[in-house]
Structure 1
Amino acid sequence: MPTPFGKKLRDLRSRAGLSQDRLTERSGVSVRMISRYENIELLPKRETAERLAKALDLAPDEQADLLAAAGYRPDPPPGTAREHAPPRAEPLFQSRLVEAADKLAAAVRVHWKREVEHRQVLDPDPLAVRWQAETGLSDHWEVVLGSKSLGAQDVPDLSGKLEQIADVYRRVPSGRLVLLGKAGSGKTVLALRLVTDLLETRRSGEPVPVIFSLGSWDPAVDLRAWLAAQLLRDHPGLGQVLPDGSTLAAALVENDCILPVMDGFDEIAGGLVRDPLEKLNRTARMPLVLTSRAAEYREAVAESDVLTAAACIELTDLTVDDLADYLPLTTVRTSGDGAPLWQPVLDELRREERTAAGETLAAVFTTPLMVALARTIYSDAPTHNPAELLDEERFPAPAAVEAHLLGNLVPTVYRFRTEQRRFEPERAERWLGYLAHHLNRLGEHDLAWWRLGTSMRRPARVLAMSLALSLAFALVDSVLLGLLLGFDPIQFTAGVVVDLAAGAAIGIAHGLLAKYRGAAFEPSGIQIRLRGKRSAPRRSLARRFGIGFAAGVLLGLAYGVTREVARGLILGLDPRTVLSLVLVNSVLLALVFGFGAGTTYALMSIWERPLDLASVQSPAGLIRSSRRTVVVQALLFAPALALVVPGTVWALVELLQLLPPRFGEWHWSPAEGMVLGLYAAGFGSLGYVLGLSAWGQWAVFGRFWLPLTGRLPWAVPEFLDDAYRLGVLRRSGVVYQFRHARLQDHLAASYRSAGQR
């Protein structure tokens, strides 16, 4: 049922002759939100209601009526003291959003504070990151500042340095800022500093700055929907379902409670430039920060337009003075003649007439990335001397120096930055190369544990999953047969055949779901509790039943066909009899298993609750949470299937007995029903855990298949955490990323050049 606001909005829009799309163009409010306001019990925030009223070109009294329908009082007349105006009424859901935003801000603040410490941004002092305004790529200042009459004195000075970025951002009234720079120039560090500074001074109710890696955004996907999905990935607690069926994450995004800091416009998959910028310009009212390499952004602007209402700044190169202020503080070591370690390099860079090696090194040391790599390789390693970088024969061009620095990072940190060497440098480099190759094949920079194995070709994935499931089923089958019948070679052989078929069935189901739902099964972001408000909306029950039914049908067919064929061979039945048994019993078992699995999977949502907002703060935390959830689900799934499947068979046999005798006789054995229920419980729950869940996919590929084939170590979580601790990887929410995209590309290229796949 729509609210009075929704009804009034629909009537006023119809009177104005505007479609929802046209109203979206005028107001900047998405079509989806307009549709929700007009059709369900959902109220807008005040700013959104005012934008809609302005877009409808309403008279003052009509604007006041529309705001009142949304629960707001109009602003006091000009000249009236605001403190004497009546307080604004605020819808209940608005206070709920404020509370959620404040909790999110606290979680984000803790995470990025730790990342600043881990990335040594302030150790010993931050590198000098400076920028200047790029007026040629900014929108008109009248649009940015929201004023049509501007003088030269009204245009703000946007130049600055690292510690001033929050102040510079606040000088942009539109809240839309583009940060440009070449590769490794410090854009991500600048975005990180902006977020941490804004969080330190944020007041309750203000938007929460959140960093999003834009490289994984497909412009075909609605930007707000993608932002909400990214929030849910990193903060599963925002999956709480609201009365209108949307999640708390979606509500925060739709109501501008999030300030998106979108890092890596140049990394959008497919190398697209025009379409993403056009999509961003459709959100002209949304404050945002965008980082990009300068060349790619200029290309996008040339093909489309500047980012609407956005100011633009571009990072400048480091100077020799910046290097002299930073590098000597990174170590107390000296060179062979007793001079400070970096003195020969700095002396060469300061020369008015540099050698060819000096010019090469000066060109390389213009970006914080290369300086940081050099610091790690030379200042932090007790036996390395940076004077070797002045060798003209080894390093005839900047590309040679950069390749040397990128190639020596991993060997250096694994040899010198760890007291107890857990992973040999050569093996670690090969494993990291596979991870980089995996990400490049996916076209991503986010290293998510649940996506390991998804860059494999689908037939290979199905085969690996089928083999893993068959082994697991064989183990369960051996236990069940041993307990029920004792060891019988014939029964054991027949059981192995059934196990292989059942494993193949769930493996195929895994492949089909991966094809139609995406390459990976996403972590659910839920926990199992017997109390509390239910998480899943009612309309999701049908979808869940369909998923469970499809998997159950495949399992039932595989079990029925192989069981009847094996029984026919053991008993020496003629082929016609075997065929008739296969046709009848396999179909019946498929329906029974499908109904049982679908019903059980749908009913499990009764106990599903969203995770607490602060319960998952790292990739390892999400692994533990997902494992705990899927194990509890299996413990609920198994006994439910053990009861539902035999009960369904009994009900079906009772119905079939009502048919005329010419359709045959139908019998029901409680003992056979118990065996069937146990098989369904064991195979169904295990098939769901390993074949149809994010944690199961991780267990099969990340913990079994990839280590077995030598592409990763057996201790994958420990390896990833070690690479993070050593500074090769960084963390963004619940995913890892390589320290820089250039390092990822370098490791992937080295892996491929070694003939690895």
Structure 2
Amino acid sequence: MRRTGITYLTLLAAGTLGALWVAPHLEDPASVLAALLPTWAGAYLAWTAYRSERLEAAAVQSPAAVADRLATAVRREWEAEAEVRRLAEPYPLPVGWRDADRDLAEASGPGRLAGRDDELATVFTDRVPTRRLLVLGDPGSGKTLLLVRLLLALLDRRQEGEPVPVLFPLASWDPTALDLRGWMERRLVQDHPELAAPAPEPYGQVTLARMLLERRLVLPVLDGFDELPARAGAMALHRINAALPYGCGMVLSSRPGEYRAALQPRSGVPARLAGLAGIHLEALDGEDVAAYLRRDAGGSDTPAARRWAPVARALGTAAPVGRALTSPLMVSLARTVYNPRPDEGHEVLPNPGDLVWLRTRTAVEHHLLDAFVDAAYRPHPHRPRRWTAAQARPALAFLARHMERGLDGVAEVAWWKLRHAVPAALPRVLAGVLLGMAGWLLEGTVMELSHRFTSGAVPTDWEQRGGLGVVAAGICGGLVCGLAAGLAITLLCVLAAAPDDLPELVFNRLADGGSLALVGMIISGFAFGGRPSLRRPSHWDRRALLTGAAAALCYVAAFGNACGTASALLYGVTAAAVGTDGVLADPARPVARVRWHWTTRGVCRGLLVGTLLGGSIVLEGLLSPVLSGDPDKEYIAPPDPLAALGAGAQVGAVFTVSCLLVHALRAVPVDLGASVDGRALLANDRRTLGTCVLTAAVVGAVVIGIQGWCAVLGGSTRVWGAQATGGHLWMFAVGLIPALLTGLAIGIRQSEWGHYLVARCYLALRPRLPYDLMTFLADAHERGVLRRVGAVHQFRHIELQHRLAGAGTRSEGSGG
């Protein structure tokens, strides 16, 4: 439908431009305009009917069909993750469990749920009639790995239309801020973004993700209850009870101590999950661990396997290494550190016998955690290595500290959340400088081409260019962004100006920068803001008021009179009372493309913005003789009433189009069947910016160009700084400038790629992270340092994250 819409719009625009091209050569050009006006209305109705039919056809999908597609995506995701984690190499590590204590899980019974290895799916489906299971285990006992095996087994047994098991890492949930169902909906949309689409009409005004949750077509596998803050444990249980009452299936994993503490809060009413059966993972058997490590080393008779002899004798005893290697985490670390990979000799590897000489279990665990990064990044004969362990460790330590401190609110590594690791104003300042410079160059270039290739055009006045870039910056990032653009343009204009009028030029450009930054805020506020009505004076944005007052004073200093003060003060009051920085794109997830989002309220707000901002120009023109004291000199607007009305109409038309584009171009996520790899989401997000620019350029140039063409037919001699003698086609070229800048502002505003680019450069210069961060994260995932959960990454285990974060803090402290 998008391709059809682009083709339809292109043909319509081409036909309109062709008609306008021919019109000046006819005896009655106005008849062409009269014939074109009803054409656009009919074209809009035809497109609306086509789009409605296609949407209705797409809406017939049933919840069961959506669940089946989700099951396919979840299976593909976790099968790839299991391969990276080598869960089946050389075979799944034997894990056993017993029934949990009755005070933790009321539906448990003596020996009823005990089992081993791959029996958990059978236990869950055959011995737990409520389909509500609690998995308890000590740190590193393999809870997450067991849940992954359970999830894949349940997917193998699942029939069409049945609930889909989905793993939700609870480390990214804040139970004090979000209810569980709302958080699960956000996670589903983030990891499978097609679920953000609206559900079919019979299921209400909800997303597909919410529809699946409400119809119990998702079986939540909640991993890591113990990773929630201790103070939030009791609240989390209440939230889980409210979202998943008795009758809703679920799986929950936790450490016993943290779960027991949540059941016995110091204050408030304790919450218990009704109908919950529980199992407790047991320590690994020493003989099983010895056999597993030898088999992973190639077999008991290989030289690499014989190196484990001292450790094997200590397994199953009270020795420190024997007690440490009872958890799947430590066994997995040990195999990575001491066992060779395919085509790798054991001669260059450390000797596992060194573990026997460590005196405490904690020392063994810390030794394995510290050696794991070196082992993951050691050279391999058939695998290129871009980063050494010494280069990777500081980056991993920074990511671990970033997650520990909760700068982004969750314990995840996601490229679109690195924006929290840089100063908040930096992306807006850089975006403002970029948009300001782009606006100055675009305006000046188009005016220069008009002067060189058309007859009768005036030379380019480079010292007066760039105002539309400031407006775009205000749309993109509010007042900070707009003022940064204004300062950048002032510097460019100073470099292009003659020295004798430098003070007046500086004051004039600063005044224009402040006023137009407020214009961008007003457009953004009307297009996106949630307050269409006036605020109370006590809630006004004082920064906007101060900016309007400062711009008015700069106009006085530049012109030596009161010209410009009326519009500057009007913009300041309007931006303070109504305008906001708007609603930015949801920082919880990236975007993939944009769609049209027309509403009657949005159109009315766009017309209101155009009337208000165009009216300010008319006001300046009518008051020009009074404000300047010279009725024959033009400052902000022409003093002639008719000319002022024409200038106001042109300004209002451009800002109306900008407001409508900001309102109509909305970000949407990618398809469910697409890869949720971070690099794929980054590429989709980056393409959003190009789509915004292209769409805005086509629509804006046509609409603004037609408006300029009509103004010329009505007798206007000047359209947006371009002489009418430049020809009718130059009206469309001039209209292309605000359209391109508006599209660029919308793209930067709604996509996370720009914020990620700033964060990547900022952290690489510090230095904190590699510049090629996506490749680094993918490489760390392939090496087993990180695990991928949907579109984000987490450390392989919380203990590894804590260890890296602590090591990074110690190294920073010693270095300081």
Please give the TM-score of this superposition, normalised by the length of structure 2.
0.65
Counterpart check, 1:424 vs 2:388: yes
TM-superposition CA deviations, 1:29-53 (whole Å, max 9, x none): xxxxxxxxxxxxxxxxxxxxxxxxx
Cα deviation for residue 338 of structure 1 reads 8.5
Contact kept? 1:545, 1:599, Cα under 8 Å: no
Counterpart check, 1:506 vs 2:468: no
Counterpart CA distance in 1 for 2:303 and 2:778 is 39
**2:810 equivalent among 736, 753, 756:** 753
Cα deviation for residue 739 of structure 1 reads 1.2
Contact kept? 2:591, 2:681, Cα under 8 Å: no
Counterpart check, 1:173 vs 2:129: yes
Please tell me the residue identity of whatever aligns with 2:789: S
TM-superposition CA deviations, 1:109-153 (whole Å, max 9, x none): 122112111111111122222221113344544xx8xxxxxxx8x
**2:62 equivalent among 63, 87, 96:** 96
Contact kept? 2:427, 2:755, Cα under 8 Å: no
Contact kept? 2:98, 2:113, Cα under 8 Å: yes
What SS class does the counterpart of residue 416 from structure 2 fall into? helix
**1:619 equivalent among 678, 697, 703:** 678
The equivalent of 1:184 in structure 2 is 140
Please tell me the residue identity of whatever aligns with 1:183: P
Name the stretch that deviates more: 577-586 or 709-718.
577-586
Please tell me the residue identity of whatever aligns with 2:178: V
Please tell me the residue identity of whatever aligns with 1:235: H
Counterpart CA distance in 1 for 2:322 and 2:224 is 26
Counterpart check, 1:415 vs 2:378: yes
Q: Matched residues, percent identical?
A: 31
Name the stretch that deviates more: 380-389 or 728-737.
380-389
The equivalent of 1:222 in structure 2 is 179
Counterpart check, 1:111 vs 2:77: yes
What SS class does the counterpart of residue 168 from structure 2 fall into? strand
Pair 95,578 (structure 1): closer, same or farther in 2 beyond 3 Å: closer
The equivalent of 2:322 in structure 1 is 362
Pair 588,178 (structure 1): closer, same or farther in 2 beyond 3 Å: farther
Please tell me the residue identity of whatever aligns with 1:692: Q
Pair 136,723 (structure 1): closer, same or farther in 2 beyond 3 Å: same
Cα deviation for residue 651 of structure 1 reads 8.9
TM-superposition CA deviations, 1:460-494 (whole Å, max 9, x none): 44334444555665665676566456899995565
Counterpart CA distance in 1 for 2:762 and 2:383 is 30
Please tell me the residue identity of whatever aligns with 1:728: V
The equivalent of 2:197 in structure 1 is 240
Counterpart CA distance in 1 for 2:422 and 2:308 is 45
Counterpart check, 1:275 vs 2:235: yes
The equivalent of 2:14 in structure 1 is none
The equivalent of 2:491 in structure 1 is none
Counterpart CA distance in 1 for 2:250 and 2:653 is 52
The equivalent of 1:199 in structure 2 is 155
Cα deviation for residue 752 of structure 1 reads 3.5
Pair 730,586 (structure 1): closer, same or farther in 2 beyond 3 Å: farther
Pair 472,692 (structure 1): closer, same or farther in 2 beyond 3 Å: farther
The equivalent of 1:690 in structure 2 is 748
What SS class does the counterpart of residue 377 from structure 2 fall into? helix
Counterpart CA distance in 1 for 2:802 and 2:136 is 21
Pair 299,498 (structure 1): closer, same or farther in 2 beyond 3 Å: same
What SS class does the counterpart of residue 183 from structure 1 fall into? coil
Counterpart check, 1:459 vs 2:414: no
Counterpart CA distance in 2 for 1:97 and 1:724 is 33
Contact kept? 2:429, 2:480, Cα under 8 Å: no
RMSD, matched Cα: 4.5
Counterpart check, 1:372 vs 2:332: yes
Counterpart CA distance in 1 for 2:777 and 2:140 is 23
Contact kept? 1:616, 1:625, Cα under 8 Å: no
Cα deviation for residue 454 of structure 1 reads 2.3
What SS class does the counterpart of residue 253 from structure 2 fall into? strand
For 1:666-745, what aligned pairs fall within 5 Å after superposition?
A: 674=732, 676-702=734-760, 704-745=761-802
Contact kept? 1:212, 1:260, Cα under 8 Å: yes
Cα deviation for residue 292 of structure 1 reads 1.4
Contact kept? 2:324, 2:364, Cα under 8 Å: yes
Counterpart CA distance in 1 for 2:785 and 2:696 is 41
Pair 368,468 (structure 1): closer, same or farther in 2 beyond 3 Å: farther
For 1:308-387, what aligned pairs fall within 5 Å after superposition?
A: 308-332=274-298, 340-349=306-315, 359-380=319-340, 382-387=348-353
Pair 594,736 (structure 1): closer, same or farther in 2 beyond 3 Å: farther
The equivalent of 1:297 in structure 2 is 259
Contact kept? 2:653, 2:707, Cα under 8 Å: yes
Cα deviation for residue 618 of structure 1 reads 2.0
Cα deviation for residue 158 of structure 1 reads 0.9
The equivalent of 1:65 in structure 2 is none
Counterpart CA distance in 2 for 1:95 and 1:505 is 38
Counterpart CA distance in 1 for 2:91 and 2:166 is 25
Counterpart CA distance in 2 for 1:599 and 1:578 is 29
Contact kept? 2:304, 2:339, Cα under 8 Å: no
Pair 746,367 (structure 1): closer, same or farther in 2 beyond 3 Å: same
Pair 449,344 (structure 1): closer, same or farther in 2 beyond 3 Å: same
Contact kept? 1:214, 1:268, Cα under 8 Å: yes
Runs of at least 5 residues in structure 2 that lack an aligned partner in the other structure: 1-57, 341-345, 482-520, 522-579, 622-629
Contact kept? 1:237, 1:525, Cα under 8 Å: no
The equivalent of 1:522 in structure 2 is 589
Cα deviation for residue 164 of structure 1 reads 0.8
Please tell me the residue identity of whatever aligns with 2:772: A
Counterpart check, 1:126 vs 2:83: no
Contact kept? 2:444, 2:460, Cα under 8 Å: no
Cα deviation for residue 426 of structure 1 reads 2.1
What SS class does the counterpart of residue 812 from structure 2 fall into? coil
Counterpart CA distance in 2 for 1:212 and 1:245 is 24
The equivalent of 1:568 in structure 2 is none
The equivalent of 2:557 in structure 1 is none
Counterpart CA distance in 2 for 1:163 and 1:485 is 78
The equivalent of 1:435 in structure 2 is 399
Contact kept? 2:193, 2:672, Cα under 8 Å: yes
Cα deviation for residue 423 of structure 1 reads 2.0
Runs of at least 5 residues in structure 1 that lack an aligned partner in the other structure: 1-91, 145-151, 529-533, 565-572, 658-664
What SS class does the counterpart of residue 675 from structure 2 fall into? coil
Contact kept? 1:214, 1:263, Cα under 8 Å: yes
TM-superposition CA deviations, 1:599-653 (whole Å, max 9, x none): 1244446xx9874431234222222333334423321122212234466789999
**1:406 equivalent among 345, 369, 386:** 369
**1:641 equivalent among 666, 689, 700:** 700
Contact kept? 1:137, 1:306, Cα under 8 Å: no
The equivalent of 2:112 in structure 1 is 157
Counterpart CA distance in 2 for 1:544 and 1:321 is 73
TM-superposition CA deviations, 1:673-710 (whole Å, max 9, x none): 656523212221222222332233334434x4433443
The equivalent of 1:445 in structure 2 is 411
Please tell me the residue identity of whatever aligns with 2:223: D
Q: Which has the larger radius of gyration?
A: 2
Pair 668,516 (structure 1): closer, same or farther in 2 beyond 3 Å: closer
Please tell me the residue identity of whatever aligns with 1:507: G
Please tell me the residue identity of whatever aligns with 1:250: R
Pair 94,227 (structure 1): closer, same or farther in 2 beyond 3 Å: farther
Contact kept? 2:124, 2:131, Cα under 8 Å: yes
